[in-house]
Amino acid sequence: MISLRGVSLIYPNGVRALDHVTLEIAKGDFVFLVGHSGTGKSSLLRLLYREVQPSAGEITVDGIRVDKLARRRVPALRRHLGVVFQDFKLLSEKTVWENVAFAMQVTGAHTKDVMRQVPRVLDLVGLSHKSRMYPGELSGGEQQRTAIARSLVNNPKILLCDEPTGNLDPANTTEITELLLRINLKGTTIVVATHNQAVVDRMRRRVVRLEDGRIVTDEERGYYYLGLGQGQVLSG
């Protein structure tokens, strides 16, 4: 579903964010990207939704060669992807319903599809009863659920999450994690870049560890820290 081959990314200011990264993610996978700040987790995600272009290497997402994609074809790629961020990126003057519907309306969806699809995803994230509320009236977890609903409304095969629980307390974090798991069980491929040890360690999913722009480990059922489970800490 997602494939990177020898991908390097050097920003215009000279910073080398990724260095010869090769990674395969299969359909229906749930993958954590872990590592310190600035190790290239976000950069990797940004390459996938074509916010930035790689300096070298090949990137394929759902059969589309992203590294060779013409600028005018980028919107088509983004409609196959859902993207969720730490800061939710909701429009404060629109209701929950309107925020979710917005993603369909601005891509030219028919009204009858909007009317069918929005209630479906709001039900999935458990916010049907709050569809008329504004983001400012919701908890952080509810705001993130709204953002997730928006990212799913166009039926993407892949969901990319950049620190989805970074702004949330532990209870809300659990809520979001469980929601992502449910979405994954419906067949959506999910890639989560995170700092949250508890989430990674509880889920026991595939963990790809980045350090200085390189993949250092790739485990099928990993922990946040190499070889350590929840409750254990690295000394020194």
Partner 1 sequence: MDWGKVKFFLGEVLRNFTRNAGMQATAIGTVAITIVLLGAFLFVRSALSGVGSELLDQIEISAYLNADITPAQTASLRHLIEIDPRVESVQYVPKKEGLAELRDRTKGAIDTALLTENPLPDKLRIRVRDPENVPAVADDVKRLSGVDNVVYGQTVVERLLALGAVLRRVGLVVIAVFLVVAGIIISNTIRLTVFARRREIAIMQLVGATNTYIRIPFICEGLIDGLIGAALAVAVLTIAKATLWPRLVEALPFVPLGSGNIDALTMVGELVLAGAAIGVVSSWISVGRHLRT
- Nearest distance from C-beta of residue 111 to partner 1, angstroms: 3
- Under rule CB under 8 A, residue 186 binds partner 1: no
The two three-digit tokens of residue 231, written as one number: 């409750």
Which secondary-structure segment (H or E) carries 28? none
Is position 143 an interface residue for partner 1 (rule: CB under 8 A)?
A: no
Question: Parallel, antiparallel, or unpaired for β 189-193 and 206-211?
Answer: unpaired
Evaluate the CA torsion angle 164, 168, 174, 178 in order and state its sign.
negative
Do residues 231 and 223 touch, judged by C-beta distance below 8 A? no
Looking only at the bridges linking them, the beta strands covering 56-61 and 158-162 are: unpaired
133 lies in the site for partner 1, by CB under 8 A: no
Q: Which of 70, 72, 136, 235 binds partner 1 (CB under 8 A)?
A: 72
Backbone angles phi, psi at 118, to 5 degrees: -60, -50
Candidate residues 62, 102, 119, 204; the one interacting with partner 1 per rule CB under 8 A: 102
Structure tokens at 124: 């999935």
Could you identify the residue written with the tokens 């922990």?
223
Task: State the minimum distance, in angstroms, from the CB of residue 221 to partner 1.
Answer: 32
- Please report, for residues 87, 140, 156, the alpha-carbon distance to residue 66 in angstroms, rounded to integers and kept in the order given: 25, 33, 16
Tell me if 157 contacts partner 1 by CB under 8 A: no
Considering only residues 81-100, where is the footprint of partner 1 by CB under 8 A? Answer: 83, 89, 91, 93
Range in contact with partner 1 (rule: CB under 8 A) among 60-68, 110-118, 168-176, 200-208: 110-118
Q: Which is nearer to partner 1, 94 or 202 (by Cβ)?
A: 94
Least Cα distance to 200 among 219, 177, 224 occurs for 224
Could you say whether residue 155 binds partner 1 (CB under 8 A)? no
* Number of residues in contact with partner 1 under rule CB under 8 A: 26
Helix and strand numbers (H, E) in the chain are 7, 10
Nearer to partner 1, 8 or 105 (CB): 105
The interface region with partner 1, picked from 129-137, 150-158, 161-169, 185-193 by CB under 8 A, is 150-158
Q: Footprint of partner 1 on this chain (CB under 8 A)?
A: 49, 72, 74-79, 83, 89, 91, 93, 102-103, 105-108, 110-112, 114-115, 150-151, 154
